[in-house]
Every structure is written in structure tokens, then in C-alpha cells.
Amino acid sequence: MFWNNLSVAVNYFIEIAIELTVLFIGITFLVGLIQEYVSDETIKKAMGGQHKVVGSILGAGFGALTPFCSCSTIPMLLGMLNAGVPFAAAMAFLFSSPLLNPVIISLLVILLGWKVASLYFTVTFVAAIIISLLLDWLGFASQVKSAAVIRGSCDCKQATDAKSRVQRSARFAFSLFRQLMPYLLIGAGIGAFIHGFVPTDIVSRLAGPDNPLAIPMAAIVGIPLYIRAETMIPIGLALIEKGMSVGAVLGLVIGGAGASIPELALLSAIFKKRLLSAFVVTILVIAVTAGYLANLLTL
């Protein structure tokens, strides 16, 4: 039994490490290209400039249109911070990106119905905007580590041909990957251990319908699983058929997709402890709120 679990964990670690590496380098390279071809001022204006509310709405909307998993969101977040995008707009993107995209919403509509899908979208989208503005108002922008914004001042003498831009984007991607790789591997290792050695029935038992704390427990249990929302939704349907409440499933989906251990490991290289803690609490609040509302909606 032990060796079988170990084999599962090792295979999972290899798969996740490769997937995260490819996704991270790929999306970081794209961010580098965006920075090469789109000026900082253009990005600032697109995200609302000095209008924090508009910027947060656009940030959440951009996140809802991008089919990124949580760990692919981090390089894009760094690109926004490098470009001077307002803190509230960048945080709204961070909250909404792994939780909202057309694929997730379509799966929810097909599997759980349009009411649950609409509730999921509304709660997540609105919460991303409101909480990002609240964190900005409370001064959490100072909790971003200065070393995280690694893009230097513009060198106007740099070559602007396509080959040079691609080369600089590739250097940016691999440089950032080397900086954050230890955090990524640590997170993948913890996730692999849980995936291989924690029985699935424990999750179902802790988040069962007879447990009054099922929804917050599901949200907490979801965090270390690192399961993309697109993958978790079909699993959630099977769990619902076995007796888990819709609210507990939404809590599990939002907790797992919004604040996975690999994502938190990467964010710890970018955020100071207060902001990292606020991020986790925010995801849990969104997960629990959506879960209880979903249960009321499906009574």
C-alpha cells in the first residue's frame, strides 16, 4: 500500500512539476512579449489608470477572460506590477483569474445549472472587485516585496526588431523561473504528498452534508489539493451524487483553484506575510460565502 501511494505521489509530482514549469515559462514569456510591444502607459490606461474602481472592474474582467490556472496567473501579475498597473486592479485580476473563465462557467452551467453558475460568477466577480479595493484602501500595496518588481527602467537604445524582443522575453522568462523555481517545487512536493497519501474519503467525510461546518471545512481542505477548477467541477458532480452539498463542492472548488499550495508558495516570493495572509482569508471568505448562498439557492 505504501509503495503504491508513493508511486502515485511521485508520478503526480513529476506531472505537476512539468506542467507548472511549462505553464510558468510559457506565460512568463508571453508577459515578456506584452511588455516589449505594449507600453507601460497603455497598460495603465487599459486597467483604469488612476481610477481604482474602473481598474478593479477591468482587472477582474480580464481575469475572467483568461483561462489560467492559479500558478499561471502569477507571472501575469508580476507583469502588471512591473508595468505600474494600480495595486487594486492587479489584485482583482489575481482573485478572479484562476476562478473565472468561459470554460469554468460553461461546465458549471452544464453540470450544475445556470442558477449555480450565475451565483458562482457573481459572488466571485463582485468579491474580487470589492476586496481588492478594500486591500488597497487599507494600505496593503506596501506589502508587495520590492524585489518582486524586477523590470528595470526602460533602455530606449534597446533594439526593437522582432528577434531582439523575443530574445529579451525569453531571458525574462527563464530569469524569473530561476528566481521562483524553489517555491514552485516545494509546493508541488507538498501537493504530491497529499495527493498520494491522503485518502479521498476523508475529504468527503469532512465535507459531508451532516456536518454544519462542511462548507468552511471543504474550502480549507481544497487549498492543499491544487486541482484546477475545470478538473474539480466534474469531480464535484460525482461528490454531489454521493451526498456532498453543492455549497461544499463550490467551497472545495474555490479553495483549491483560488489558493493552492503551489500558488501560495510562489506568492510568498512576491507578497509579505500580511498580504499573503489577507489573500488566503479572502479566498476562504469567497469560498464560504458562495457555498452557503449555493445551499440556500438549491434548497
Q: What confidence score (pLDDT) does residue 138 get?
A: 94
φ/ψ of 271, rounded to 5, equals: -105, 145
More confident residue, 281 or 78: 281
The residue type found at 46 is A
**Is the pTM above the cut of 0.85?**
no
DSSP string, the chain: -HHHHHHHHHHHHHHHHHHHHHHHHHHHHHHHHHHHHS-HHHHHHHTTTT-HHHHHHHHHHHHHH----HHHHHHHHHHHHHTT--HHHHHHHHHHTTT--HHHHHHHHHHH-HHHHHHHHHHHHHHHHHHHHHHHHTTGGGGB-GGG-------TTS--SHHHHHHHHHHHHHHHHHHHHHHHHHHHHHHHHHHHHS-HHHHHHHT-TT-TTHHHHHHHHHGGG---HHHHHHHHHHHHHTT--HHHHHHHHHHHHHS-HHHHHHHTTTB-HHHHHHHHHHHHHHHHHHHHHHHHHT-
DSSP string, 124-164: HHHHHHHHHHHHHHTTGGGGB-GGG-------TTS--SHHH
pLDDT band at 86 (very low <50, low <70, confident <90, very high): confident
Instruction: Say if residue 49's pLDDT is above 80.
Output: no
Least confident of 31-35, 184-188, 200-204: 200-204
Q: What confidence score (pLDDT) does residue 149 get?
A: 52
Q: Is 171 left (phi over 0), alpha (psi -120 to 50) or beta?
A: alpha
Q: What confidence score (pLDDT) does residue 82 get?
A: 76
pLDDT band at 122 (very low <50, low <70, confident <90, very high): very high
pLDDT band at 79 (very low <50, low <70, confident <90, very high): confident
Cell of 218: 471543504
Instruction: Say if residue 213's pLDDT is above 70.
Output: yes
Torsion of CA 186, 284, 129, 266, to 10 degrees: -10
Q: What residues does each domain of the chain span?
A: 2-297
**Averaged confidence pLDDT in the chain:** 78
The top-scoring range by mean pLDDT among 42-56, 214-228, 231-245, 279-293 is: 279-293
